[in-house]
Amino acid sequence: MDADRLYHDPALADFYDLENGWERSPDFAFCRALVEGAASMLDLGCGTGELAIAVSGGRTVVAVDPAPAMLGIARAKAGAGGVEFVEGDARTLRLGRRFDLVVLTGHAFQVFLTQEDRRAALATIAAHLAPGGRFVFDSRNPACREWEEWGPDDSMRLLDHPRFGAVAAWNDVALDAGTGIVTYGTHYEIRATGERLSAASRIAFPEKAELEALIAEAGLRVERWLGDWEGHAWQEGAKEIIPLGTLA
């Protein structure tokens, strides 16, 4: 899995929090509520650390990401001292520790492009989950074909970046019908200078049936399948596939 410039290039990573609006994000709110009562949490694919820092008061929080640029932003934030940030790959990570809650949100699970990658990531979750602990992750439902809404016309937006000023942003997208892998480009054009920053990202859209089989194989058990981060049960046509579960 090649390093994605969107997260590994410091200039591009600098747009991450601006684009995501964490306090308005339903997965952010869901995980903040889920961690209540838990003494420890492992955040796989923590990005810029917003969730990890927000829940770190009074509990052990370890946050892992493969991108040094994202971790650099995370470590510079207020409250970051309450989190142990680790550079690592969720497919191979072995900390030798177990946690009450393991989360992998922000559709980070979709960066695992092959079934073997997904199997390895789920084994990592199982290896770090304490008895009675819970895990949660999200993946977009391929049946909804959400990538069809990611073209330049639908995605064009104007950002007010604190350092660059006005920035035009847009995406483009291509589906590999043979593999089901979607490649989407992210483009930022700084209005003051005309400089353009771009990255191409690849993500997979595994079917729910595959996830069911791989989760069971990893020694995990799903308590509830959710169709969104508001907590509604999964059903055909739901935009999200969100397993919430524990060790089998």
Q: Which residue's structure tokens are 């747009």?
A: 15
Q: What is the pLDDT of residue 24?
A: 74
Query: Tokens at residue 52, please?
Result: 């990890």
Residue 240's φ and ψ, nearest 5 degrees, are -115, 155
Q: Average of pLDDT values for 50-73?
A: 97
Q: Supply φ then ψ for residue 15, to 5 degrees.
A: -90, -10
CB 224 within 8 A of CB 129: no
Mean pLDDT of the chain: 96
pLDDT of residue 20: 87
Read off the pLDDT of residues 126-180 as tens digits, 9 standing for 90 and up.
Answer: 999 999 999 999 999 999 999 999 999 999 999 999 999 999 999 999 999 999 9
What's the CA gap between 63 and 53, in Å, rounded? 9
**CB atoms closer than 10 angstroms to residue 195:** 12
* Other Cβ atoms within 10 Å of 220 Cβ, number: 20
pLDDT band at 1 (very low <50, low <70, confident <90, very high): low
Residues near 122 by Cβ (< 8 Å), separated by ≥ 6?
214, 215, 217, 218, 220
- Of 181 and 2, the one with more pLDDT: 181
121, 90 Cβ separation under 8 angstroms:
yes
70 φ/ψ angles, rounded to the nearest 5 degrees: -70, -40
Helix ranges, the chain (H)? 5-8, 10-13, 16-20, 26-34, 50-54, 68-75, 115-128, 152-155, 208-217
